[in-house]
């Protein structure tokens, strides 16, 4: 399972020109589910993201996690993160989880995030939808995190 996190001052997601979720300061997470991922990877990656220190402390050093910063998390499913780009000029998607499995693990991740941060601090995209994601990257600060089984 892969998660691309971006520290943001704000982020939102829209479907059919209607905003479905928005956050203020926090993390935007693009979440990719791979073929061999399980609930264990969802829990491990969630734990890692919630504790990953990317917010500044009093000295301006990245030493504070999203939980302690008071920030929010916007989780957006993004199957293209599971693409195989190792050869050619077109991505392959044989490494991506089947849609039913990916949706189940996406929902598990969101549930874990709501448990860790509180429901009010977690926003989410819509699995399988054509989404428009807007963000104001803070820094910019962007990291790719992974959980492997």
Give, as one character, the DSSP assignment of residue 96: B
User: pLDDT of 93-142, one tens digit each?
Assistant: 999 999 999 999 999 999 999 999 999 999 999 999 999 999 999 999 99
Cβ within 8 Å of residue 129, ≥6 positions away: 15
CA 28 to chain centre: 6
Provide the 8-state DSSP code for 7.
Answer: E
| Joined tokens for residue 21 | 């979720």
Q: Is the predicted pLDDT of residue 149 greater than 70, yes or no?
A: no
**Interstrand relation of 2-15 and 26-32 (parallel, antiparallel or unpaired):** antiparallel
Fold of 2-146: 3.50.80
Mean pLDDT lowest among 6-15, 17-26, 83-92, 126-135:
83-92
Task: Please write the tens of the pLDDT for every residue from 26-56.
Answer: 999 999 999 999 999 999 999 999 999 999 9
Q: Catalytic amino acids?
A: 78-80
Please provide residue 21's backbone torsions phi and psi, each rounded to the nearest 5 degrees. Answer: -165, 150
């Amino acid at each position: 399972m892969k998660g691309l996190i971006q520290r943001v001052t704000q982020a939102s997601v829209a479907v059919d020109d209607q905003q479905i979720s928005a956050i203020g300061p926090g993390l935007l997470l693009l979440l990719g589910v791979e073929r061999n991922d399980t609930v264990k990877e969802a829990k491990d990656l969630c734990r890692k993201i919630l504790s990953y220190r990317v917010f500044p402390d009093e000295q301006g050093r990245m030493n504070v996690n999203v939980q302690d910063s008071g920030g929010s998390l916007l989780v957006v499913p993004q199957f293209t993160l599971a693409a195989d780009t190792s050869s050619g000029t077109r991505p392959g998607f044989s490494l991506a989880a089947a849609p039913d499995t990916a949706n189940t693990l996406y929902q598990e991740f969101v549930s874990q995030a709501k448990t860790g941060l509180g429901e009010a601090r977690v926003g989410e995209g819509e699995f399988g939808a054509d989404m428009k994601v807007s963000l104001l990257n803070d820094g910019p600060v962007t990291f790719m995190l992974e959980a492997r089984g």
